Amino acid sequence: MFPIQRPRRLRSHPQLRRMVRETILTTNDLIYPLFAVPGEGIAKEVKSMPGVYQLSVDKIVEEAKEVYDLGIPAIILFGIPEDKDVDATGAWHDCGIVQKAATAVKTAVPDLIVIADTCLCEYTSHGHCGYLQVGDLTGRVLNDPTLELLKKTAVSQAKAGADIIAPSGMMDGFVQAIRAGLDAAGFQDTPILSYAAKYASAYYGPFRDAADSTPQFGDRRTYQMDPGNSREAIKEIELDIAEGADMLMVKPALAYMDIIWRVKEASNLPVAAYNVSGEYSMIKAAALNGWIDEERVVMETLTGFKRAGADLILTYHAKDAARWLR
């Protein structure tokens, strides 16, 4: 009458649990986001993201060295320019803030992989991800003219030393345009990590404080995906694969683990999950109030992303996770 199958047998000892664990999180899975700003000696904490800072290039280099020493293989750079305009000049100029940061990091820590976020919202005066029709107050980005800006931006980032280009604006055809631009400029070997399934999410709120990228009017729902759609994510990744993407990203991660799983099942490319600012801030706020065990919740969350199919995890928890993994 007793059970023949007793799954608890394999849970009886910590070492035994380690031996049969199906999903293993390591520092190799982590990518750490950094926010570059003009100036020197600047480390300004983002109010809505405790422990995350806007950093001048010299401080970015210090942070990059620490990240590398922790065994984290890559960073992704976002930039906040000194001036903004409708042409997003700071995104593609040779002296742009991400370009300066990328060059400085590759000089100081050549073996650290530098990913450049290739988007325009931080650099436009209106806060949208490309050109708008003159007089438009809805935020409906003009797709094809914006592709030329993204192409210029990607090439300038690659010239500055970026190892991977990560376009995030969700413009139709952006992977093909960037691939053509990189190839024509001699960067045939520079991979593209496409934000292939990026949703119009409320979880981005704190990031917009960090990157100073809140739209001045309208919203981004005409180009970012509707949170209710999952089949559309497969359509988006198939298009990006056909256009030459080397890796795919799902963003956000926490409320979209089903999408991570579907993308993983539908593709043989590496899949990244972006553990976004709102997800980070919720955990931080609860931890600072003593409501949760931060280490256990963070590690369980990151392991969940990997179990769902993520090969790479972009997360603001990366440094803490690397220390806990040690």
Could you give the residue numbers annotated as active site? 198, 251
Judge whether 277 is annotated as a binding position.
Answer: yes
Q: Under 8 Å CB-to-CB from 323, ≥6 apart: which residues?
A: 70
The rounded distance, in Å, linking the Cα atoms of 141 and 132 is 5
Cα 121 from Cα 41, distance rounded (Å) = 25
**Does residue 119 have a known ligand-binding role?**
yes
124 and 84 Cβ atoms separated by less than 8 Å: yes
Distance CA 92, CA 82 (A): 14
DSSP-assigned letters across all residues of 217-253: SS-STTTSBPTT-SHHHHHHHHHHHHHT-SEEEEES-
Give the residue among 114, 26, 30 at the shortest CA–CA distance from 72.
30
Of 98, 138, 104, which Cα lies nearest the Cα of 119?
98
17 annotated ligand-binding residue: no
Q: What are the backbone angles phi and psi of residue 94, rounded to the nearest 5°? A: -60, -25
Judge whether 129 is annotated as a binding position.
Answer: yes
Q: Is 221 annotated as a binding-site member? A: no
C-alpha radius of gyration, the chain, whole number? 20
CB atoms within 10 A of CB 294: 17
List the Cα angle 36/41/44 in 5-degree steps.
60
The response to whether 95 counts as a known ligand-binding position is no
What tokens were used for 251?
């963003």
Annotated binding site: 119, 121, 129, 208, 220, 236, 277, 316
Annotated binding site for Mg(2+): 236
Annotated binding site for 5-aminolevulinate: 208, 220, 277, 316
Annotated binding site for Zn(2+): 119, 121, 129
